[in-house]
A and B are shown apart, each in its own frame.
Chain A
Amino acid sequence: MLQTIRERAQGWIAWAIVILISIPFALWGIQSYLGVGSEPVVAQVNGVEITQRALDQRYQETRMRLRERLGSAYRPELFDEQTMRAQVLEQMIEETLILQVAQDLGLRASDQELRLAILLNPAFQKEGRFDKATYQRMLALQGTSEAQYEDSLRRRILGTQLQRAIEASAFVTESELAEAVRLEKQQRQVQLIRLPKAQFLSDTPIPDAEIQAYYEAHADRFRSPERVKLQYLLLNAETMDLAKPPAEEELRQRYEAEKDRFRKPEQRQARHILIALDPKSDAQTEAQAKAKIEAVRERLVGGEDFAEVAKEVSEDPGSAPQGGDLGWFGRGLMDPAFEQAAFQLKKGEISAPVRSPFGYHLIQVTGIQPETVQPFEQVKDKLRGEIAKEQGEGRFFDWAERLANLAYEHPDSLEPAAEALGLQIQESDWLDRQGGEGILANPKVLAAAFSAEVLEEGLNSELIEPEPGALQAIVLRVVAHEPARAKPLETVRDTIIDQLRDQAARTAAKAEADALLEKLKKGEPIEGYAVQDLGTIGRDAFQVPEAVRKLAFSLPRPKDDQPSLGSTSLENGDGAVVRVKQVIDGKLADLKAPERDALKRRLVRALGQGYYDRFLEDLKARADIERKPLETASDF
């Protein structure tokens, strides 16, 4: 049989088998090259993948950090998930790219730099110095190993090295600085002819058709807002009648019931002399120790000073130097036998030898503070506050729950709830989305009032607690609703006429200014206009109307004593002609050293960051970046 196999093995069957077997081996792992069946990928940067999972994780981290930073100001609805995801992804793409580029350029994060970064991180320090144990604990908290952390730190150092290089080498030349000062501190000598809008206001009647057209064209301006009238039940200290203080009797009962809280147990101060003895020692040693302590007792009874003797013979190293003093202690701290003796002695009396696991003691009580109980009068106010709070809270939560249930069970009316709880139904005035006063201005309350359930279905709202912890709750329903609607033409007619006249006056004033400008440019004489000298003004001359200032500084620099001219319309509708007679450049030499340094630093920083941004953009433009359309992750 083997012979047959051998013969056949030379033939085509063998080849077929070999080929069949080799196929799986050849294809093994190929999917990791083709990207088939692996994780979903959201982007590729020069062939390096960014997976959906990495993006999700990074997105969650970003959100968490945002929440921590903003604290209570954080509102999830302020951040559009799609936009934020796209931003996070863009950031990841940039990081991936810059890391690749750094690698390709042969940049490395040195071990030295890595060590320094770890040693100088305050999170890993204890008492101002790096502490290995703290380092390991911090990493364990984050769930990373040292190798992982160091790897990611290395990448971070490498990823920022180019940026640091660009920013550290940014410079501003002296002439650039001078140019910046020349322009920023520039002053211009300006004259102004002002054509007040009021002069162009006419009271000629405006045709109805025009008013109608304006009304229709600006329908959104002439709408009254959507309004509602509310009925509501309010739970708070007043409506629940919590103001009533607890009776004296109640306070006394509480005092009696909780007397232990106000009891300060007996305390004693004692000193002792110990002849140490192993609890398992034999009878002979025991007898020796006993004899020894009796002898010491004799000395004490004979009138020797306790403290002196304790220092001399006590075998308790903790107390002997203090003359055996143990300080003040209450029950439950000392060995039971010791305690029993110590709490039975009179002050000054010397105990008989007491056997404890430590050996034989002689005890003398040097001070007694008897048990004290704070009298009722002293704690009355405290109790009153506690009871009021407990009752208030208890009652509030109880009532709130009942109110919520009743309002839910009878969604078409507040009456049952009001009756059951003895609350008064209150009614609001008309409210638009801006809200009313007090609790009716609260955004949560308004959101409920204008919610689909309450507004459209006419149901009671849920129980709303506008401010957590404030013991305040409200249930409301809409009793009248007025949708947003166009104000009738007649009621806004006068407003429209005013607006139309205003518009016409503005246009006329500007036209007059333009006409005047033309005349001035041609050198024709002008008469009857007041020319106002504004003097020399800087870019920050806030006393000059903004439009004038902007125009004055955007007009070309006067050439050959030929003033520059321009016209504009002021915010209040006045027309204006501006004449720039002279430009006085800012001088670097006029800057004080600190101001000059600050300006230089600002420019250098702007250039450093700006160049890095451009550099990154340039890298991106050259890279092969593929972004897949983003979808929301399914796991939240």
Chain B
Amino acid sequence: MNVYETDEEKAEAIKAWWKENGLSVAAGIALGLGAVFGWRAWMSYQDRIAQQASAAFEQLIATAQSGEVEQVQAQADQIDREFPNTTYAALAAWVRGRAEVDAQRLPEAQAALRLALDRAPDPSLKRLTALRLARLLIAEQAWEEAAAVLERYEDDGPFRPEFDALRGDLVAASGQIQQARAAYQRAIEGGAIQANLLQEKRDDLPPSS
């Protein structure tokens, strides 16, 4: 480190340093400020997009309650087109799936739930969607596809009894009565949602031997 004899010398040194580095310092500050403001603008843009998606989704729920399938389709499609990278795309696909089921169009409903599965950004959402999709596949007797969906998404968490219940349906359909009874039993003991119905299902199975 240099030691300067007088103030003048020091001032000279500073000026020289500024001449050399001034531009990069200014550029650095500008860049920093730009990053901060840019980030904030980006955030507020994101927020605006999310709000728009939210409003569109709330409207979709309202439409779904009035039961106009075509309108539900149109609105759900629009949400998926305009906000494909938001969670709302998945939620909208759910709602559309329900409308399709109510209109007795299971293949379309399946497509909607597959889309929801694809769009859902969160494992819990995915598991819930998978359960719904598997139920649709079981309703269409697409046993293997249903098994594949269960296989892929089941885990030992709180959704376990629901997966067990669907497993029961699958093995019962293939005539494996004992396994079916065991699966229903596991589901009931795990506190599945429709435990009462599952009990009835279990008791309705023919003798296993």
Pairwise interchain contact A183-B201, C-beta atoms closer than 8 A:
yes
Q: Counting CB contacts under 8 A, is A221 at the interface? A: no
User: Provided the pairs A169-B98, A610-B194 are in contact, do residues A564 and B203 lie with their beta carbons within 8 angstroms?
Assistant: no
Q: Counting CB contacts under 8 A, is A171 at the interface? A: yes
Pairwise interchain contact A169-B106, C-beta atoms closer than 8 A:
no
| CB-CB contacts below 8 Å: B160-209 with A | 162, 193-194, 197, 200-201, 203-208
Q: How far is the CA of A621 from the CA of B157 in the complex (A)?
A: 7
Nearest A residue to B88, CB-CB: A107
Specify which of A171, A564, A619 is in contact with B101 (CB 8 Å cutoff).
Answer: A171
Q: How far is the CA of A161 from the CA of B124 in the complex (A)?
A: 15
Q: Mark B53-81, 1 if CB is under 8 A from A, else 0.
A: 11101100100110000000000000000
User: Provided the pairs A110-B55, A557-B205, A615-B124 are in contact, do residues A171 and B97 lie with their beta carbons within 8 angstroms?
Assistant: yes
Q: Counting CB contacts under 8 A, is A120 at the interface? A: no
Q: How far is the CA of A170 from the CA of B124 in the complex (A)?
A: 16
| CB-CB contacts below 8 Å: A374-416 with B | none
Q: Counting CB contacts under 8 A, is A441 at the interface? A: no
Q: Counting CB contacts under 8 A, is A244 at the interface? A: no
Q: How far is the CA of A111 from the CA of B159 in the complex (A)?
A: 34
Pairwise interchain contact B95-A183, C-beta atoms closer than 8 A:
no
Specify which of A186, A603, A619 is in contact with B124 (CB 8 Å cutoff).
Answer: A619
Q: Mark A593-636, 1 if CB is under 8 A from B, else 0.
A: 00000000001001100110111011111100000000000000
Q: How far is the CA of A622 from the CA of B106 in the complex (A)?
A: 32
User: Provided the pairs A107-B88, A622-B123 are in contact, do residues A171 and B132 lie with their beta carbons within 8 angstroms?
Assistant: yes
| CB-CB contacts below 8 Å: A167-217 with B | 168-176, 179-180, 183-184, 186
User: Provided the pairs A107-B54, A607-B194 are in contact, do residues A169 and B47 lie with their beta carbons within 8 angstroms?
Assistant: no
Pairwise interchain contact B98-A606, C-beta atoms closer than 8 A:
no
Q: How far is the CA of A557 from the CA of B128 in the complex (A)?
A: 32
Pairwise interchain contact A606-B201, C-beta atoms closer than 8 A:
no
Q: Counting CB contacts under 8 A, is A72 at the interface? A: no
Chain A residues with CB under 8 Å of B53's CB are 108
Q: Counting CB contacts under 8 A, is A492 at the interface? A: no
Q: How far is the CA of A113 from the CA of B62 in the complex (A)?
A: 12
14 residue pairs A–B, Cβ–Cβ below 8 Å: A108-B54, A110-B58, A113-B55, A161-B57, A171-B97, A176-B139, A558-B206, A607-B194, A611-B131, A611-B193, A614-B158, A617-B157, A618-B158, A619-B124
Q: Counting CB contacts under 8 A, is A444 at the interface? A: no
Chain B residues with CB under 8 Å of A170's CB are 98
Q: Counting CB contacts under 8 A, is B146 at the interface? A: no
Chain A residues with CB under 8 Å of B162's CB are 611, 614
Specify which of A104, A112, A176, A557 is in contact with B204 (CB 8 Å cutoff).
Answer: A557
Q: Counting CB contacts under 8 A, is A497 at the interface? A: no
In the complex, how many angstroms separate the beta carbon of B103 from the nearest chain A beta carbon? 11
Q: Counting CB contacts under 8 A, is A165 at the interface? A: yes
Chain B residues with CB under 8 Å of A186's CB are 200, 204
Pairwise interchain contact B87-A106, C-beta atoms closer than 8 A:
yes
Pairwise interchain contact B101-A615, C-beta atoms closer than 8 A:
no
Q: How far is the CA of A184 from the CA of B52 in the complex (A)?
A: 45
Q: What range describes how many residues of B lie at the interface?
A: 35 or more
Q: Counting CB contacts under 8 A, is B150 at the interface? A: no
Nearest B residue to A172, CB-CB: B101
Nearest B residue to A103, CB-CB: B50
Pairwise interchain contact B193-A614, C-beta atoms closer than 8 A:
yes
Nearest A residue to B97, CB-CB: A169
Number of A-B contacts (CB under 8 A): 140
Nearest A residue to B124, CB-CB: A618
Chain A residues with CB under 8 Å of B201's CB are 179, 183
Chain B residues with CB under 8 Å of A611's CB are 128, 131, 162, 193
Nearest B residue to A158, CB-CB: B54
- Besides A107-B87, A557-B206, A619-B124, 14 other CB < 8 A contacts? A101-B122, A109-B51, A110-B52, A161-B57, A165-B95, A169-B94, A169-B95, A171-B101, A172-B101, A559-B207, A610-B193, A611-B128, A614-B159, A615-B125
User: Provided the pairs A113-B54, A559-B206 are in contact, do residues A168 and B200 lie with their beta carbons within 8 angstroms?
Assistant: no
Chain A residues with CB under 8 Å of B200's CB are 183-184, 186, 553
Chain B residues with CB under 8 Å of A554's CB are 203
Q: Which residues of B contact A (CB under 8 A)?
A: 46-47, 50-55, 57-58, 61, 64-65, 86-88, 91, 94-95, 97-98, 101-102, 104, 106, 109, 121-125, 127-128, 131-132, 135-136, 138-139, 157-159, 162, 193-194, 197, 200-201, 203-208
Pairwise interchain contact A183-B204, C-beta atoms closer than 8 A:
yes
Q: Which of B87, B201, B204 has the most CB of A within 10 A?
A: B204
Nearest A residue to B177, CB-CB: A556
Q: How far is the CA of A105 from the CA of B86 in the complex (A)?
A: 8
Q: Counting CB contacts under 8 A, is A289 at the interface? A: no
Q: Counting CB contacts under 8 A, is A368 at the interface? A: no
Nearest A residue to B123, CB-CB: A622
Q: How far is the CA of A162 from the CA of B90 in the complex (A)?
A: 11
Nearest B residue to A604, CB-CB: B98
In the complex, how many angstroms separate the beta carbon of A491 from the nearest chain B beta carbon? 46
Pairwise interchain contact B124-A622, C-beta atoms closer than 8 A:
yes
Q: Counting CB contacts under 8 A, is A86 at the interface? A: no
Q: Counting CB contacts under 8 A, is A166 at the interface? A: yes
Chain A residues with CB under 8 Å of B91's CB are 162, 165, 169
| CB-CB contacts below 8 Å: A531-582 with B | 553-559, 564
Nearest B residue to A169, CB-CB: B94
Pairwise interchain contact A615-B128, C-beta atoms closer than 8 A:
yes
Q: How far is the CA of A611 from the CA of B121 in the complex (A)?
A: 18
Pairwise interchain contact B50-A108, C-beta atoms closer than 8 A:
yes
